[in-house]
Amino acid sequence: MDTLLAKHLKPYLAYNESRISRLLELMPPKTRPLFHILTFLLHTNLQELPGYINDKEAPCGIENYAFPPDLEAAFATIFPNYRFRQIMSDYSAQSQLCVKSLLLMGSVGSMAQTVKSDFDYWVCFNEDSLNPKQLELFKKKLIDIEKWADKEHDLEVHFFPTDVKRAQVNNFGEADKESAGSAIARLLKEEFYRTCVLVAGRIPFWCLTPTGISDQEYNQYKKAAKGSSEINTGKLLDLGNLYEITTGEFFGAALWQMNKAMDSPYKSVLKMAMLEGFLDPEVESQLLCNIVKNSFHGGTPKKDDWKSYDPYATMFDHILDYYGKKQRNDVVELLQTCFYIKIGFKARKSLMGKDDLNFKQRTMLDYIENWGWDQEKLDDLNDFKEWGFEKVLSLGNRVHNFLIQTYRNLADRLKKEDKAKQMISEQDITVLGRKLFTFYSQKPGKVPLMKKAFDEGLWQESITFAADYNKQRKVLWSFYSGKHNKQALSTWKAKEKLLKQGLNILSIVIWAIHNRMLDKKTSLYFVLPNPSPVGLADIQKLMLVTLEFFPSAKISSISNKDLLSHEKKTRVLIVLNFDSPRWMQEINTLSIIYLNSWGELFCETYGGKEGVAKVIEYLSEDPSNLKKNYMIFIPHTQYSKKIHDSLKSTIVKKIGR
């Protein structure tokens, strides 16, 4: 047994090295040095460097870490004012190294890596070796480095402190923030083993064991390794075996992926498709992590063998093969389309056979050739960011319809499984179910969330507002993507750029902000003449106030505590006379925009007296909180202070402050 483990060691290290090479190849030159720097910062605790903790008890250090040859050059790029050699001469190794292993998981090092890919690290350590204070300092160090990478280098880094003993038994906590909780314990481990890249520290023992072995056999290999002269167990880390995923766990996994789809729909499309293939009783398939492991156990990766060892391509091929056999060509076409757009490589047929392409480009061109796509198809997808709004939403609707239908299929198959509900806690079912409700449910006054395929699909670089009278002589607002003049908007092509029309300009702006179409980087334009009292400056001010008052947050980040409680209003923005004549000296119209604790945003507009009564009613629901978290906004006129103070006085009289 120990001989077999030793036999697998060399090809595993070669495979891991190839993943690191691909990772660095796909990183932009300006952020590439961070790969080495992040590890260095975690390993050390040096004054004036990010992650420094001014406490003698601060834990740090990674076992078996060796300073890479490129570290000095990376250090000079990221910290040009520090003398690397002087720092290293002052550095003394920690007597107790806290981190057993540092591993990346996810898309990095695969063909799915893009400039926007998160760097998700498992920081493996023994929690029982740290006292409460040390544990707190350790987590602070990780958070400080994360914040530095984001603020200074626009790189999204997540360090997940992973207790080795808990990981061995698939205990990843409850479903909160980025944690998968009880919903996908083994599936999380499957993805980890399929995609992990060893950055520093001990080698995951599972990567050297034969595929598909039982827990009993796995323990026998552990025992053999301990008494072996062929393999050094001090360089191995046991994070637990994985050889099967029970049917019951797929219910929680499907529910979890539906929730993740609200933030990253495309990732969830692939994972939901993978789950459906795993659950189909007509198909016998092994875990994808085992397919990847079999590939690198078979020998050292060949330089030109771009696909066989890529965890992302392995998953995608598995999914396409499944739906192809099921003759579900509509799903195959949807997955191919989303896959191509997400990869971010604008391919041309003329590039095929070129020598100066990276592995990602070569792999994508191989796919395109196999799919039989022509240049016209490629040109259309390459211009995805120029698509009309309706076309973007159409793809988003197809993605979400697939997710919903697949979830229903999985739920139907699992209804007869007694163990299905046992694999996810009742609390997680409630939490995840309410997040789904927040996204998909419709309520009076609720600002709807648009179904999108990709995060970047809805944001607009520039927006044009136009107002004109309709047949009833009411002002009709039109909201266009891009910069346009009155003449351009009179052509038929303008219809492709139309995002929304309506009589209430305030609700249109709030809808656009809530769906992240507008932000401070968006340029706003206005078509003249304008029959409305609302001007461009009013819209700009409303946008800035709304963005400031309602902090942008993902539904997936709403706390368990809030979701397990009855929903309540948390922030209330009161907008007075936004589209009223500017000579008004009293409240003519009053709009209430409020956010509740479940992440739902509402926009309601009333007449003056009715609106004031509704404001008092809403603020009285939770006066201790809302009297500190409401704001009054009114467009600037010579009467705006008078109107503002009048409402403010009424609120103070009724609820205090």
Q: For residue range 261-318, what is the model confidence (pLDDT) as tens digits?
A: 777 787 788 888 888 888 777 777 788 999 999 988 887 666 666 677 899 999 999 9
Task: Tell me: pLDDT of 577 over 60.
Answer: yes
Alpha-carbon gap, residue 620 to 637, rounded angstroms: 29
Peptide bond connecting 301 to the previous residue in cis, omega within 30 degrees of 0 = no
Task: Tell me: pLDDT of 422 over 60.
Answer: no
The first and second tokens of residue 420, run together, are 């299905």
| pLDDT 10s digits, 509-537 | 999 999 888 889 999 999 989 999 999 99
Q: How confident is the model at residue 624 (pLDDT cuts 50, 70, 90)?
A: confident
Alpha-carbon gap, residue 108 to 120, rounded angstroms: 9
Alpha-carbon gap, residue 456 to 114, rounded angstroms: 13
* Contact criterion met (CB below 8 Å) for 360 and 113: yes
pLDDT of residue 92: 66
Range 402-411 average pLDDT: 82
DSSP class of residue 302 equals P
Burial group, residue 344, by CB count within 10 angstroms (0-12, 13-18, 19+): middle
Task: Tell me: pLDDT of 236 over 60.
Answer: yes
Range 549-561 average pLDDT: 78
| pLDDT 10s digits, 489-508 | 888 777 778 899 999 999 99
pLDDT of residue 175: 39
Alpha-carbon gap, residue 500 to 518, rounded angstroms: 13
pLDDT of residue 496: 79
Alpha-carbon gap, residue 296 to 288, rounded angstroms: 13
Task: Tell me: pLDDT of 395 over 80.
Answer: yes
pTM, 2 dp: 0.81
Task: Tell me: pLDDT of 420 over 60.
Answer: no
pLDDT of residue 259: 74
Alpha-carbon gap, residue 18 to 24, rounded angstroms: 10
Alpha-carbon gap, residue 78 to 107, rounded angstroms: 24
Task: Flag the least confident range among 36-40, 82-86, 189-193, 359-363.
Answer: 82-86
Range 332-359 average pLDDT: 89
Task: Tell me: pLDDT of 179 over 50.
Answer: no
Task: Tell me: pLDDT of 641 over 50.
Answer: yes
First-last CA distance in the chain: 74
**Average per-residue pLDDT in the chain?**
87
